[in-house]
Amino acid sequence: MVVTDEKTIENTDWEPRIVGFLCRWCSYAGADLAGISRLDYPPNSIFIKVPCTGRVDPTFVLKAFADGADAVFISGCHLGDCHYIEGNYKTMRRFEILKETLKQLGIHERRFQLTWISASEAQKLKEFLTSMTSSIKELGPIQLPILAPLQKEDKQDD
Amino acid sequence: MTEKLKLAFYWAASCGGCEVAILDIDEKVLDVVAIADIVFWPVAIDIKYNDVRAMDDKSIDVTFFNGSIRTEENAELARLLRAKSKTLVAFGSCSCYGGVIGLGNLSSKEELLHRAYITSDSTDNPEQIKPQLHYKEVHIPDVLPANYALDQVVDVDYYLPGCPPKDTLVWSAIEAIASGNLPAKGAVLAPNLTVCHDCPREKHDERTIKEFKRVYNFQPDETKCLLEQGLICMGPATRSGCDASCVSVNMPCRGCMGPTDQVFDQGAKMISVLGGLIDSDDPEEVKEIVSTIVDPVGTLYYFGVSKSLIKQSGVKRR
Amino acid sequence: MVNITINDQEYDIEEGKTILEAAQAMGLEIPTLCYHKALSPYGACRLCTVEIELNGRTMYQASCQYLVEEGMNIQTESERVVNGRKKMIELLLARAPEAEDILDLAYKYGVKDTRFLKEFDDVCILCGLCIRVCHDRMGFKAIEFINRGIERKVSLPFEDFHEVCRTCGSCSTYCPTGAKAVQLENLTHHTPRPILSEFDQGLATRPAVYTPFPQAVPKIPVIDRNNCIHFQTGECKICQDVCEPDAINYEQEDEIVEREVGAIVVTTGFDPFDPNRLPQYGYGKYPNVITSLEFERISSASGPTEGEIIFPGVTEIKSAAILHCIGSRDENTNRYCSRLCCMNALKAANLIRDKLPDSHVYEFYIDIRAAGKGYEEYYQKMLRSDIRIIRGKVAEITNIPDLPEDEGRLTVVAEDTLLGAILRVPVDLVILMVGIEPKKDARDLAHILHLPCTEEGFYNEKHPKLAPTETVIEGIHVAGACQFPKDVPDSVAQGESAAAAVLSKIARGEYITEPTKAEIVDDHCSGCRNCIGLCPYLAISFDEEEEIAKIDSALCQGCGVCVASCPSGAIIHRGYTDKQIFAEIEGVLER
């Protein structure tokens, strides 16, 4: 049986922290446009720029979750529109395997999303972030079925 | 040589295969005995835990510790042997990465016990009796909430992975210890390359598959790369040193040697490799192909759940 | 060499030449009709007859057949010669009173009419050109003279159709009566297949040797091998005989020239939208529904109709409809704006009004896009003219009229969205302003050059503002409509910009590339070959000797796909290393 994270605490102060990996050509430019256009979107997401979504090593996603991200998303150019020809197809294929793996590791599938946002789709980015943030708020803080640390004070040679 | 080396061997949560692996060095074990005294080896020598407790700290030169930490007893002995040893070697995949037992971390302790003593198909336990920790004056060590690799409990000096470790690696480790010619602390005593380096199979640059297969589905071609035939072979993401044992007998690599030094998460890297194999541009078809990967965690983290980035995040962060 | 005198002038002429050849070589004109440089002389029309004085004797001979001899004194324009010619013209005129070549000659020699009985039924002048070209050059021997005397005529063997005719059409091409005497349909049961001119949008024909279009660079005729008779039978070679500079070379083969270059500018252009995809507009069904490109040729003074707006089957163009956005801004075809059709449509309206001042012109538009220098002014001028500019997309073109007097005309069905009224407008001409699409093979080229494309298949520039002609591939630039629909001024501007960008890089002698590239740590590479097939730029190769992968940093564009996929962590991405990104993740998640 798989242990999944469930809504356990109702903390009013709590705000989800979302890490987004955005490709330099489309989505990051789209985020720039959202800024220039003065679009409002929830401040819960922090973007990390990558040259192409193809650069997003699944390790990065795991690392972000391990470091406390409540959700992670990857956003790139539309399929067929990649500035590196087909990087986003490679991401899409990886994403599916990673999503299945994360599900089995106990991470709700809504916490890991893939989207395609072009440089002109600031509005789409805003809508995506708004819906993702509210959906993560519904899920609540991530409760990774982590290794509870053993009593380190017992370690005699520390 | 004025004084003989003092060696200790211990098995924690382990199948016993690693103990046998030490004997895989065959007659060379006599050379070992010539230069070293074995001061503790529960499987072979009758020395009690109290005898070890009575030893001076750092009086054992090298302890080879196999098996993961799953019970209170495993943890206690790990701490005890750490204190008594100058050098602690995590021996075998369970000790290095948590091993197969780590897959238990996908479930809670209670679920595991329930499964083991109540619901498993071979269990005949109508009264639903579970192990008791205390019975009269007897105390049975409790099962820990999760399964740990050795270095998640105590400091480890060297890692010697493998399920079980290859005899050549064991012998070269012993040689290195005997000669004092050891690498920096924390090193893995195996080459920093992947299984593909040793794999004799024919590999191609363009590799595409429409379906992931499992070994019972078909008889793979013995000369071609197993990944190209749709089998999930962990070879590309797995450290070499095993002389490509599994792939030489037409079985895909399961990844027992763990990742190379540069890699943080073996399973994550393997996801990239598998993603690169899928031959489709259509998201729906990709989903279908991915659905042919049965049990992704069990395949990609066969030995590594305990040490996977996500599962060990609590240990590191808190 | 023989010494002869022509019209009191002495010449040295090579032996074996005919008098006609000698005279033509000296620049003297002797009229001919049945003579052709490429064919054996026949002496049928007698127009080339000259007066020859040799050894004290005077004679009149056809110059096309008579060889020069030492001491000949030749008069080409003596009174008797000219009188004889006039009579010949009169006789020819009687046979073919409407043949242009003969009328030209008559005009030249002042022959106003013929005294002989005019023969309108049988216009053949029996010059034999058609037969000679068919026999001598084409080698088909499909036609022949039959009968004798007044019964003589050009016909088929046994006066029956025969397989040997290949409908090459050279007989009618050579006929001095304007092909009236030899009509292909009377000679063959094969269907003649005229070669349609690509430049004229198939509205006119062209020969098998042709200049592709008037501004072609280089402006040199080419041979259409698929249609040239020589490339099918090995015969003909007439063009070789008539080409004075001897420039025809049948051995020339297509050549693949390999050049090493430092930069490539891709300017492959576009394909016009195929209006057959929108059957409601009746393109291909009604001859007077045409595309904007066809209208361009029809309205051109150098086009097939010499600028006259005429169509087969349409007697008078009383009104015309111009339909905007055919294959542009349409959810069913292309969603983007093709940018240049609005102005082109306004121009077409202006041209029709100019050439047919009594006609009515209707423009059906969605929005007018008149962004460009002088464009808005032109639009305003059109608005003030009597052209009816109607906002509404046409639903259908039909040949079912509303009123009986409009029988045979087309009816445009549309909604005027400003008035909210359904319009049914009878017209005689419909012009479809077809949109711009990427070339059919744009993606093939993109694959070869590793260029990224938009969803539609236009090539993507590196940055719309900062690098509008560059692509993500170093050294490859784009210009013109292959990047996105563009009119001529914009294409020229982008083309010049691309050329300048390339030249400035070439002048520097070396390329400065982005430093964010992938690099393999040799010691860590296990040679699993996982990365090689993933690289979209074929920058990674396998070194068989060292058994590791190698990255060509000139080809690497730094996408990082291989880095993320390297299962042994042997590839490092400069500028985006794992460590750097890990630090970013840790940084953004720090509490």
* Domain final residue, candidates C479, C508, C537: C508
Q: Does C578 touch chain B (CB under 8 A)?
A: yes
Q: Which residues of A touch C560 (CB under 8 A)?
A: 50-52, 54-55, 87
Closest chain C C-alpha to B72 CA, distance in angstroms: 33
Q: Which two tokens stand for residue C542?
A: 């396998």
Burial of B141 (0-12, 13-18, 19+ CB in 10 A): middle
Interface of C with A in 437-456 (CB under 8 A): 446, 450-455
- Residue spans of the domains in chain A: they are 18-152
In angstroms, the CA C481 to CA C492 distance is 10
How deeply is B173 buried, as exposed, middle or buried, from its count of CB atoms within 10 A (0-12, 13-18, 19+)?
buried
The interface residues of chain B toward chain C in range 232-261, judged by CB-CB distance below 8 A, are: 235-237, 240, 259-261
Cα dihedral value A61, A63, A66, A69, nearest 10: -50
Q: What is d(CA A22, CA A32) in angstroms, rounded to the nearest whole number?
A: 11
Which residues in chain A (88-147) have CB-CB distances under 8 A to chain C? 90, 94, 119
Chain A residues close to C586, C-beta within 8 Å: 67
Chain A residues in contact with B154 (beta carbon < 8 A): 155, 157
Domain span holding position C303: 272-436
Domain membership flag for residue C230: no
> What is the model's pLDDT at position B244?
93
pLDDT for position A13: 81
Per the domain annotation, does C247 fall within a domain?
A: no
Residue C139 burial by Cβ neighbours in a 10 Å radius (0-12, 13-18, 19+): middle
Residue C305 and residue C429 share a domain? yes
Report the distance separating Cα A116 and Cα A25, nearest Å: 12
Q: Residue A139: pLDDT above 80?
A: yes
Mutation target to probe the C interface, by most C beta carbons within 10 A, among B188, B194, B199, B265 is B194
Q: Which residues of B touch A106 (CB under 8 A)?
A: 106
* Tally of structural domains, chain C: 5
pLDDT of res. C397: 95
If pLDDT is split at 50, 70 and 90, which confidence band does B317 have? very low
Contacts A68 to C, Cβ<8 Å = 589, 591
Cβ distance A97 to B268 less than 8 Å, yes or no, reads no
Query: Is B278 in contact with B289 (CB distance < 8 Å)?
Result: yes
Tokens of C391: 């906002």
| C65 token code pair | 């057949």
ipTM of the complex in this document: 0.91
pLDDT tens digits, C338-373: 999 999 999 999 999 999 999 999 999 999 999 999
Statement to judge: residues C525 and C543 lie in one domain? yes
Domain range A18-152, CATH architecture:
3-Layer(aba) Sandwich (3.40)
**Interchain proximity C568–B272, CB inside 8 Å:** no
φ, ψ at C153 (rounded to 5°): -160, 165
Pairing assessment for the beta strands B134-135 and B138-139 based on DSSP bridges: antiparallel
Nearest to C530 among B262, B263, B276 (CB): B276
Closest CA to B158 of B179, B180, B185: B185
pLDDT, tens digit only, all 591 positions of chain C: 889 999 988 889 888 889 998 998 888 889 998 898 888 888 888 899 999 998 889 999 999 999 999 888 999 989 999 999 999 999 888 888 888 888 888 999 998 888 888 776 667 888 888 899 988 888 888 888 888 888 888 888 777 777 788 888 888 888 887 766 677 777 777 777 788 999 988 888 898 899 998 888 889 999 999 888 899 888 888 888 888 889 999 988 889 999 988 899 999 999 999 999 999 999 999 989 999 999 999 999 988 888 888 877 778 899 999 999 999 999 999 999 999 999 999 999 999 999 999 999 999 999 999 999 999 999 999 999 999 999 999 999 999 998 998 888 999 999 999 999 999 999 999 999 999 999 999 989 988 887 878 878 899 888 888 889 998 888 899 999 999 999 999 999 999 999 999 998 888 877 777 899 999 999 999 999 999 999 988 999 999 999 999 999 988 989 999 999 999 999 999 999 999 999 999 999 987
Is C107 part of any domain? no
Task: Mention every residue, 6+ apart, whose C-beta is less than 8 A from residue A46.
Answer: A17, A18, A19, A20, C588, C589
Q: Does C310 touch chain B (CB under 8 A)?
A: no
How many beta-carbon contacts under 8 Å exist across A and C? 90
The tokens for C7 are: 């019209």
B271 touches chain C (CB under 8 A): no
Q: Which pLDDT value is given to residue A149?
A: 58
Chain A residues with beta carbon closer than 8 angstroms to that of B297: 101, 104-105
Contact C377, C385 (CB under 8 A): no
Q: Are C341 and C324 in contact (CB under 8 A)?
A: yes
Reported as a pLDDT band with limits 50, 70 and 90, residue A45 is very high
Coil, strand or helix at C432: strand
Beta pairing, strands C548-551 & C540-543: antiparallel
Percent of chain C with pLDDT strictly greater than 90? 50
**C85 CB-contact burial (10 Å; exposed 0-12 / middle 13-18 / buried 19+):** buried
- Chain B contacts of A90, Cβ < 8 Å? 275-276
Partners of chain B (3+ Cβ pairs below 8 A): A, C
A156 min Cα distance to partner chain C (Å): 30
Q: Is the pLDDT of residue B46 over 50?
A: yes
- Integer distance in angstroms from the first to the last C-alpha of chain B? 46
Shortest Cα distance, chain A CAs vs residue C564, angstroms = 4
Beta bridge partners of A75: A22, A115
Q: What is the pLDDT of residues C289-345, one digit of tens each?
A: 999 999 999 999 988 888 888 877 778 899 999 999 999 999 999 999 999 999 999
Q: How many CB atoms lie within 10 A of CB C40?
A: 13
The residue with greater pLDDT, C574 or A153, is C574
Closest CA to C410 of C317, C327, C346: C317
Single out the residue in C77, C112, C138 at which a domain terminates.
C77
pLDDT value of position A148 = 58
Select from A21, A74, A91, A93 the residue whose CB has the most chain B CBs within 10 Å, as the one to mutate to test that interface. Answer: A93
Selecting from C460, C464, C559 the residue whose C-beta is nearest the C-beta of A87 gives C559
Q: Which residue has the higher pLDDT, A120 or A89?
A: A89
Q: Which chains touch A (3 or more CB pairs under 8 A)?
A: B, C
Residue type (1 letter), A35: G
Q: Which one-letter amino acid corresponds to residue C304?
A: P
What's residue B318's pLDDT?
30
> Quick check: A7 pLDDT over 50?
no
Provide the CATH number for the domain around residue C21: 3.10.20.740
- Rounded CA gap, C191 and B105, in Å? 82
In a domain, residue C122? The reply is no
Q: Where are the domains of chain B?
A: 5-100+144-179, 109-139, 195-312
Query: How far lies C302's CA from each of B182, B278, C209, C272, in Å?
Result: 90, 57, 19, 22
Of C530, C542, C547, nearest to B273 by CB-CB distance is C530
Counting Cα atoms < 13 Å in the Cβ hemisphere of A27 gives: 28
Q: Are C568 and B236 in contact (CB < 8 Å)?
A: yes
As a whole-number percent, the residues of chain B with pLDDT over 70 amount to 97
**pLDDT at position A8 over 70:** no
If asked whether residues C375 and C424 sit together in one domain, one would say yes
Query: Which chain A positions have a beta carbon within 8 Å of B13's beta carbon?
Result: none
**Alpha-carbon span C64 to C41, nearest angstrom:** 6
In A, minimum Cα distance to B69 occurs at A150
Indicate whether C489 and C562 sit together in one domain.
no
Which residue, of C482, C508, C534, is where some domain finishes?
Answer: C508
Indicate whether C14 and C153 sit together in one domain.
Answer: no
- Token pair 């009515």 is at which residue? C360
What subunits make at least 3 CB pairs under 8 angstroms with C? A, B
The CATH number of the domain holding residue C562 is 3.30.70.20
pLDDT higher than threshold 80 for residue B261: yes
Tell if the CB–CB gap between C529 and B204 is shorter than 8 Å. Answer: yes
Using a CB-CB cut-off of 8 Å, the residues of chain C touching B260 are 524, 568-569
B45 pLDDT exceeds 50?
yes
* Same domain for C445 and C421: no
pTM, to two decimals: 0.68
Q: Is A82 helix (H, G, I), strand (E, B) or coil?
A: strand
Question: pLDDT, tens digit, for every residue of B54-98?
Answer: 999 999 999 999 999 999 999 999 999 999 999 999 999 999 999
User: Mean pLDDT for chain B?
Assistant: 91
Residue C296, φ and ψ in degrees, nearest 5: -60, -45
Q: Among C24, C27, C384, which residue's Cα sits nearest to residue C35?
A: C24
Q: How confident is the model at residue A146 (pLDDT cuts 50, 70, 90)?
A: low
User: pLDDT, tens digit, for every residue of C253-300?
Assistant: 889 999 988 899 999 999 999 999 999 999 999 989 999 999 999 999
Is the Cα torsion angle B227, B233, B239, B244 positive or negative in sign?
A: negative
Partnered with residue C361 across adjacent β-strands are C320
The b-or-e profile of C534-568 (16+ CB within 10 A means b, else e) is: bbbbebbebeeeeebbebeeebbbbbbbbbbbbbb
Q: Which of B275, B300, B306 sits opposite A93 (nearest CB)?
A: B275
| Cα–Cα distance measured from residue C410 to residue C420, given in angstroms and rounded to the nearest whole number | 22
- pLDDT reading at A9 higher than 60: no
DSSP B123-160: ---TT-----SEETTEEPPPEEEEEE-GGGTS--SEEE
Give me the residue label for tokens 């409601």.
Answer: C280
Q: Which of B178-182, B198-202, B282-286 has the lowest mean pLDDT?
A: B178-182
Do C331 and C391 lie in a common domain?
A: yes
Average pLDDT over chain A reads 85
Neighbours of B168 (CB within 10 A): 14
Matching CATH number, B5-100+144-179, of 3.40.50.700, 3.90.226.10, 3.60.21.10, 3.40.50.2000: 3.40.50.700
